[in-house]
Amino acid sequence: MRRVLPAREHGPSAIENQPANDAADAFGQRRPERGRIARAWLWVACWVGVIWVLGGDEFSLAETSRTIYPWLEWLIGDVDPGTRFKIFLAIRKSAHFVEYAILAILTFRAALLAASRNHLATAGWVALFLVATLATADEARQALSNTRSGSPYDVAIDVLGGALSIVGLIVITRRMHTAPESSA
């Protein structure tokens, strides 16, 4: 919705392209329009779908080893099978960490847009709740699979990835919005 300014102003500045909603958060920033909030949650939903697919049988240990082992041999050469397997597991576990860190970042952003920028803790808790819920559901589903095995350790890795990214986002956001001291 466009708002027309008083008639005494003429030219391009007479029409303001900002929404008529003047609600501002604690940092003095306008609240985003609903479409932007909806798009942020759509990204969250898409990433949840990606995680759900990656947790399926198609990405089991046996299936991913067919792709990752040749790359490992190309990168590090011929090593004993035990070392190669440890590197392979490290790659798979770091993927858990990164997947859920990305989920936490996307959810934190969506929750922050939906609430307002002064609700950092609320956005953090919403993101952490979604990360923990999805991690638990995904591992429970894998525990029921014939080709996968669910693990509470994987849930812990997932939640750790999410929690560390949330803490980082809160620290960065607070630093960005802290006014520097002027020495005038």
Note the pLDDT of residue 2. Answer: 47
183 in any annotated domain: no
Higher-scoring residue by pLDDT: 115, 13: 115
Note the pLDDT of residue 183. Answer: 55
135 in any annotated domain: yes
**Average pLDDT over every residue of 22-33:** 54
Residues in the chain: 184
pLDDT in tens, 97-151: 999 999 999 999 999 998 866 688 999 999 999 999 999 999 999 999 888 888 9
**Residue of 166, 167, 158, 126 whose CA lies nearest to 52:** 158
160 in any annotated domain: yes
What is the number of structural domains in the chain? Answer: 1
172 in any annotated domain: yes
pLDDT in tens, 37-85: 999 999 999 999 999 999 887 887 777 788 888 888 888 888 888 888 8
Domain assignment of residue 172, given as a range:
32-176
**Helices (H) then strands (E): counts for the chain:** 5, 2
- pTM of the complete model: 0.75
20 in any annotated domain: no
